[in-house]
């Protein structure tokens, strides 16, 4: 099936060939699971594949490779306009804290706006500075819509993106129960696709009702090609972003510059570099000052900072073992290669430091103060990376 870049709507689907084959075969045999869980790293196209599954379900002439791509249903699906494909995602908490119904309405308006933006801008980096959640109102809206049943085509598919965001909020049990009820007894002709980059945070009850499918990203050269040919990035920038994004188109988009400004993930990458440098300082004062540059709330927005920090630490490990070619932050390769001579770097340090970042990542899922969390993390990094000088 050939796919061209649309004027508006979903970007072309890349990769996931094995998953697509398996899904198309399952569909043909009438064996597509009622609830699928697509999991894998952020930005690798889980929601894009979920839309493809929606297209597969509504297509009037699906083949062995998937939806035909030509019928009316396929065209509507590609434009994110198909009435049988419903897309739900984490959203900001509505500002009007009114009644349940008012909240649910505000969330529905925000969801429609989100979809309109996605339609207008097929390639858009994800915002990392906003705390979003799957609120009870969103789940109630989804449930209400699903209970109405499928329209004229007789089939409907619901996408619930970042399903792990059901847990990190109050009233989560109620939201989870509302979702569980509909997953347990889906109306006739209804399928669900959940996506998650942190399946470990999913509620057990939800995970146990889904058939999991693990997805991986694109290889570096293919990602680079998508960035130059479709997104229109300059070759050098595309190469740099593809290397750092490790197969994730969503990440790569955030690393590209935006009208001369660094992209949101590029800013975070530089931020993570300063955090690492502060962590390597002997005086706790430098680390404390660095931590104070962060907001005292919103720890859940730090996920990407931790991912960037992990790459810096792995690069430091590569430098410590003399593997310059393995360094992903290629622009800082000279600085990285100098550190093992300059510092009392413990050879096992970078691996221990990555473990400390993972621990901080788990803590950030709760409602902790980012300044305290990062002060503690930098202290842990310092202890993990350096031999004591005494």
The answer to whether residue 76 forms part of the interface with Zn ion (CB under 5 A) is no
What is the Rg, in whole angstroms, of the alpha carbon atoms belonging to the chain? 22
Report if residue 157 touches Zn ion, rule: CB under 5 A.
Answer: no
Residue 59 makes contact with Zn ion by CB under 5 A: yes
Q: Is 350 in contact with 312 (CB distance < 8 Å)?
A: no
Q: Rounded to an integer, what distance in angstroms lies between the CA atom of residue 343 and that of residue 216? A: 36
By rule CB under 5 A, what count of residues binds Zn ion? 5
Q: What token pair was written down for 117?
A: 């933006």
Position 68 contacts Zn ion (CB under 5 A): yes
- E-only strand ranges, the chain: 35-39, 85-88, 156-160, 190-196, 211-214
Nearer to Zn ion, 24 or 59 (CB): 59
Residue 193: helix, strand or coil by DSSP?
strand
From residue 50, alpha-carbon distances to 46, 55, 57, 146, 234 in Å are 6, 9, 11, 17, 30
**Nearest approach, Cβ of residue 17 and Zn ion (Å):** 19
Report if residue 85 touches Zn ion, rule: CB under 5 A: no
H or E element that contains 350 = helix 349-364
Closer to Zn ion by Cβ: residue 59 or 279:
59
The nearest distance, CB 18 to Zn ion, in angstroms, is 21
CA distance 298 to 283: 27
How far is residue 14's CA from residue 18's CA, in Å, rounded to a whole number?
A: 12
- Least CB distance to Zn ion at residue 121 (A): 25
67 forms part of the interface with Zn ion (CB under 5 A): yes
Name the minimum Å distance from CB 157 to Zn ion.
Answer: 14
Instruction: Give the sign of the dihedral formed by CA 74, CA 75, CA 76, CA 80.
Output: positive
Residue range at the interface with Zn ion (CB under 5 A); choices 44-52, 74-82, 87-95, 368-376: 74-82
Only segment of 20-28, 73-81, 100-108, 301-309 that touches Zn ion (CB under 5 A): 73-81
Q: In this chain, which of 26, 71, 212, 365 binds Zn ion, going by CB under 5 A?
A: 71
| 45 binding Zn ion? (CB under 5 A) | no
Should residue 74 be labelled a site residue for Zn ion when binding is judged by CB under 5 A? yes
Among 10-18, 62-70, 88-96, 292-300, the segment contacting Zn ion (CB under 5 A): 62-70
Minimum gap (Å) between residue 84 Cβ and Zn ion: 12
What is the binding site for Zn ion (CB under 5 A)?
59, 67-68, 71, 74
């Amino acid at each position: 099936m050939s796919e061209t870049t649309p004027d508006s709507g979903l970007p072309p689907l890349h990769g996931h060939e094995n998953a697509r084959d398996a899904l198309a075969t399952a569909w043909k045999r009438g064996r597509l699971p009622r609830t699928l869980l697509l999991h894998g790293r952020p930005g690798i196209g889980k929601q894009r594949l979920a839309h493809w599954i929606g297209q597969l379900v509504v297509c009037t002439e699906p083949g062995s490779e998937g939806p035909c791509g030509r019928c009316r249903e396929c065209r509507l699906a590609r434009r994110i306009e198909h009435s049988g494909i419903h897309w739900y995602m984490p959203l900001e908490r509505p500002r009007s804290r009114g009644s349940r119904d008012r909240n649910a309405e505000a969330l529905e308006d925000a969801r429609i706006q989100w979809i309109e933006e996605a339609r207008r801008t097929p390639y858009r980096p994800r915002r990392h500075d906003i705390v979003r959640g799957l609120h009870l109102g969103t789940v109630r809206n989804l449930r209400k819509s699903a209970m109405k049943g499928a329209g004229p085509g007789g089939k409907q598919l619901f996408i619930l993106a970042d399903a792990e965001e059901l847990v990190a909020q109050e009233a989560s049990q109620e939201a989870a129960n509302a979702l569980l009820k509909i997953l347990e007894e889906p109306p006739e002709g209804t399928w669900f696709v959940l996506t998650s980059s942190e399946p470990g945070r999913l509620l057990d009850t939800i995970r146990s009702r889904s058939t999991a499918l693990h997805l991986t990203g694109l290889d570096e050269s293919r990602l680079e090609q998508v960035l130059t040919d479709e997104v229109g990035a300059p070759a050098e920038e595309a190469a740099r972003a593809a290397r750092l994004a490790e197969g994730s188109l969503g990440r790569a988009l955030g690393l590209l510059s935006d009208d001369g400004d660094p992209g949101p993930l590029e800013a975070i990458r530089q931020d993570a570099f300063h955090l690492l440098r502060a962590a390597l300082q002997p005086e706790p004062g430098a680390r404390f000052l660095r931590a104070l540059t962060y907001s005292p709330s919103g720890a859940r927005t730090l996920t990407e900072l931790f991912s960037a920090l992990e790459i810096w630490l792995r690069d430091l490990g590569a430098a410590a073992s003399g593997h310059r070619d393995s360094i992903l932050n290629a622009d800082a390769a000279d600085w990285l290669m100098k550190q093992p001579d300059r510092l009392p770097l413990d050879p096992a340090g970078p691996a221990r430091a990555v473990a400390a970042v993972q621990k901080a990542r788990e803590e950030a899922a709760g409602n902790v103060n980012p300044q305290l969390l990062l002060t503690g993390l930098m202290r842990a990094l310092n202890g993990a990376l350096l031999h004591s000088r005494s």
